[in-house]
Amino acid sequence: MPTSLLTLNDGTKAPWIAFGTGTALYSKDAQQSVIIAIQNGFTHLDGAQQYQNEDSLGAGIAASGKPRSELYITTKLGNLQPGDTPKSAIEESLRKLGIDYVDLYLIHHALPNVGRLKDLWIGMEEAKNAGLTKSIGVSNFTADHLNEILEVATISPAVNQLEVHPYVWKALQPTLSLHEKYNIVTSSYGGLSPLVRGRGGPLDPLVERIRVRLEHARGSTVSEGQVLHKYFQQKGILVVTTSAKVERVQEYLDTENVPELTPDEIKDIETAGAKLHKRFFPRNWPPE
């Protein structure tokens, strides 16, 4: 079953779910994990210069035998070395990945670059205009960071990849409002954190109740993770997720086949999430 696509504000389309090569694969050889992901149906692969494994991501892409045209590849700009630009940095990424262009190129972090975000964004536009990436965007940007680059942007960011889950949904509202205004796709990393890192919160019983209903409606197994992933899919959020386990990779992609949550269930998830504010990746955010 083909993966559903999200239309970005530049007219390109991105698969709504991506296999990430950070977190568990950070600084590790990603080749085998990438091959498994592609063999099981992932077409969107999310990498970054900071993950220090673009070469093995590229090796996995090559070894999979999947045509480049059938894949959607994301990478992210890390900390620039003196004399480097976003354009020279992506040229190095493309060399490591063994490809001619990426589909999406993001500024990975706002915080270390405060004061030079405008210059970086101008450099990102230069990389896009040179044909090195189809789309450009950002990651870990608050509304203030977005407003700063929008002052100079001739191309709006297509995506902002953030820690997104129900326990930060309320706090993200100023940023999400800007996303809506400029048609910026919200991308989520750490989306299952409430279930895997934050057990015991107000979301737990609700997710289980919805899971049981969906499983009954489907007539086959539905996992708690699929409940949250379905929530993201219905909200038009681009999910970045990862696993070393084949069955988990298959489960993530199988979210497409899970029945939809009702409007009330979506509202209940946001209401329960608002009862607890918790970030699981606080280093990416200004102090609260």
- 60-71 pLDDT, tens digit per residue, is 999 999 999 999
Using one digit for the tens of pLDDT, what is the confidence trace for 198-224? 999 999 999 999 999 999 999 999 999
pLDDT score for 29: 81
Closest listed residue to residue 63, CA positions, set 92, 39, 96: 39
Cβ neighbors of 27 (< 8 A, separation 6 or more) are 51, 52, 53
Distance, CA of 238 to chain centre: 6
Measure CA of the first residue to CA of the last residue in the chain; give whole Å: 42
- pTM of the entire predicted model: 0.96
- Residues designated as active site: 51
Does the pLDDT of residue 54 top 90, yes or no? yes
Does the pLDDT of residue 260 top 80, yes or no? yes
* CA dist., res. 210 & res. 200, Å (int): 17
Percent of the chain with pLDDT over 90: 92
Domain ranges within the chain, ordered by starting residue = 5-192+229-257
Place of tokens 């200004």: 286
Average pLDDT of the residues in 247-256 = 96
The H or E element that residue 187 is part of is strand 185-189
pLDDT score for 271: 98
The answer to whether 196 touches 275, Cβ cutoff 8 Å, is no
* CA dist., res. 97 & res. 74, Å (int): 11
* CA dist., res. 91 & res. 87, Å (int): 6
* Six token digits for residue 1: 């079953």
Does the pLDDT of residue 8 top 60, yes or no? yes
44 annotated as ligand-binding: no
Mean pLDDT of the chain: 96
Place of tokens 């129900």: 166
* CA dist., res. 95 & res. 101, Å (int): 10
Average pLDDT of the residues in 239-245 = 93
Confidence of residue 100 (pLDDT cuts 50, 70, 90): very high
Distances in Å between the alpha carbon of 219 and those of 34, 211, 256?
A: 31, 12, 15
The CATH number assigned to the domain with range 5-192+229-257 reads 3.20.20.100
Does the pLDDT of residue 1 top 80, yes or no? no
